[in-house]
Structure formats: C-alpha cells, structure tokens
Structure 1
Amino acid sequence: MSDLDDLLARVRRLEDERDIARLIASYGPAVDAGDADTTAKLWATDGVYDVEGWQMGSRADVHAMVSSSSHQALVAKGCSHFLGPCVVTVTGDAAVAVCESLVLVNDGDGYRVWRATANHFVLRRGAHGWEITRRTSRLLNGDPGAHGLLRSGLSGTQV
C-alpha cells in the first residue's frame, strides 16, 4: 500500500468513526423531540432495538415506540436521553460502537436520573450512509449482561 493509499484509508476510517458517532449522538435529540421519523431513520429497515427484554424488530417498530402515547407523554413532561461519547470500531462496511447513556426525567422540581444504561450498537454502511442494525441496551445495575455489552463493544466484538 502506498503512502497515499494509507492516508486515504486512514481518512476514510476517521470519517466513518465521525459519521457513526454523529448518528448515535442524534438519537437523544430526535427521541426527546418526539420525532419518530428522524429516530426511526437511524435504524436499518430490518434493524433491531433490544432494550431490557423488549425487542423492536424493525425501523417501523422504533417509529411506533417514539409515536406511542407513553413516549409522547414522557416528552411532554420533559426528558433527556443523553448518550455519552462512544467507542467505535470500523471493519470495512461494518462497525461496532459502545457507549453509556442516562435518561433524565422532569419530576416537577427538577430532573432526576431515571436510567443508566450500557448500549452496544452494530452498524452497517447502507446506500445512504451508516445505519443501526442492532442496538442492545441493558441497565447498569450490576447486571453482568450490561458489563458484557461494554466489554464486547470496547473490543469491537458484535453481540
């Protein structure tokens, strides 16, 4: 590989990591705005979102979750889904990312932490850029499964 080829590969990897980090960071603002269309478009059409035993098996299911009356009530009350910085491992047209997240809810006197979660993402490069094919989220409550998600994500391993 020439120096130019090496440089181009490094730039592409950096752009991929940036694009994936931006995609993941977009989740919080989209879901907190109650924007089902924008949130759902983060997922592949057949993408899975597995959160604490509740599995959404498609982009349409993610859209339905954000559109649901329970989620819209949470938005109306005031909430913040904050996803921390992610560690991204890109391998060609596939990637793994891991981050932690907090969900804050307005309790009338201010905000309280409702959830602290480990998040493991599997992504693929689609025709229009990166998309989530699987997100697995587990509460950080001492659950070894949550710790396993973090370890797998840090090593760039799919779960």
Structure 2
Amino acid sequence: MADLDILARLQRLEDQQDIATLIASYGPAVDAGDAHSAAGLWTHDGRYDVEGWQMSGRQGVYDMVASDSHQELVAKGCCHFLGPAVVTVDGDRAVAVCESLVLVRRQGHEDLDHTDQYCVWRATANHFALDRVDGRWQITTRVSRVLDGDRLAHALLGAGLAGDPAPLDGRG
C-alpha cells in the first residue's frame, strides 16, 4: 500500500513539474517569435482570453504570435516572464496560476548612460486550465487580466491558488 502512495505522490510531482515547464515555455516561445511552439502549448480547441480578447484554438495563438504587431515587439526587444506557477493536479486535469511581467526595451538616452533599458509594460494575473492529452499536458484555457486593481484579476489569483476554475466575468 505504501508503494502505491509513493507512486501517486511521484506522479503528482512529475505532473506539477511538467505543467510548470509548459507554462515557463510560453515566454521564450513568444519572445523568439516562434508561433508554432507557442501555439503547441494549447489543445487544438483551447482558448486564450486576454482582457476580453479571445484567441480560439492553436490557430488563434499562432496568428497572434505571427502578427506584425507581435513580431515588431520582438524585433524591438521584449521579455515575457511568467513567474513560478502554483499547480493543482486532479487526475488528467489541472489548474495553475501565476503572475507575469512583460518587459520592453527602450534605447539608451543621451542624458543617461547610453545603455538600453527595460521597463515593465504589463503585470498580469494568469489562470490556466490544463488537460493531459495523449500523455502530454496542454492548456485548454488561459485567462489573463492586468493587475491594475481589477476585481477579476484578483479573483483569478484566488481561484488558481484554491485549484478552482477561473471565475466568469461576463466579458469572455
């Protein structure tokens, strides 16, 4: 009986690590402008809701990363950093929550030291729902809201910490 408990605990730890790695992969994929890798993090019918802007399926995520506006951001210099995720696994489904920062590069100024600087463009709450599909974790839903005092951003963090689904806000 103890062996089964150890195996279950090991599986949960492996699942949590796999999900944390998947979430951490988003930033490097979008900052490299790699639409294929970024889109591959989602299920085929997954959803990404950013401030009420809905991306549907892998194609929606692919189109966002491949867009001229995103590629221009990459060309100027940016960093999408997703902080450590809190992950709750329940069989082949999971919930994760983290905060993220998007940094953008600003070229140096003559009156300063001429070095490029990075400034925080966005700070965001992120709630993920994930499914294990064919033995691999994939995002089914990601809901992101700017941390500007918005009630939904705070609710996303609380729900994620509790391992609960993202609350509905009537916008998505």
Q: TM-score range by the shorter chain?
A: over 0.9
Extract unaligned runs of 5+ from structure 2. Answer: 109-116, 167-172
- In 1: Cα distance, 2:20 partner to 2:88 partner: 11
Q: Distance in 1 between matches of 2:121 and 2:104?
A: 6
Aligned partner of 1:129 in structure 2 is: 136
Gaps of 5+ in 1: none
Are 1:98 and 2:97 counterparts? yes
**Structure 2 residue aligned with 1:80:** 79
* Cα RMSD for the two superposed structures: 0.6
In structure 1, distance between residues paired with 2:79 and 2:4? 42
TM-score normalized by the length of structure 1: 0.98
Separation of aligned partners in 1, 2:130 and 2:102: 23
Q: Structure 1: which 4+ aligned runs deviate by more than 6 Å?
A: none
The residue type equivalent to 2:40 in the other structure is: K
SS of equivalent residue, structure 1 residue 72: helix
1-side partners of 2:127 and 2:48: how far apart? 10
Which residue of structure 2 lines up, in the alignment, with residue 20 of structure 1? 19
DSSP 3-state at the match of 1:39: helix
Q: Does residue 1:33 correspond to 2:23, yes or no?
A: no
Greater Cα radius of gyration, structure 1 or 2:
2
Match of 2:41 in 1: 42
Check if 1:152 corresponds to 2:159. yes
Q: Count residues in correspondence.
A: 158
Query: Which amino acid letter does the alignment assign opposite residue 73 of structure 1?
Result: E
Overall identity of the aligned pairs, in %: 65
**Shift in Å, 1:128:** 4.4
Deviations 1:52-107 (A, max 9, x none): 01000111010000000000000000000000000000000000000000000012
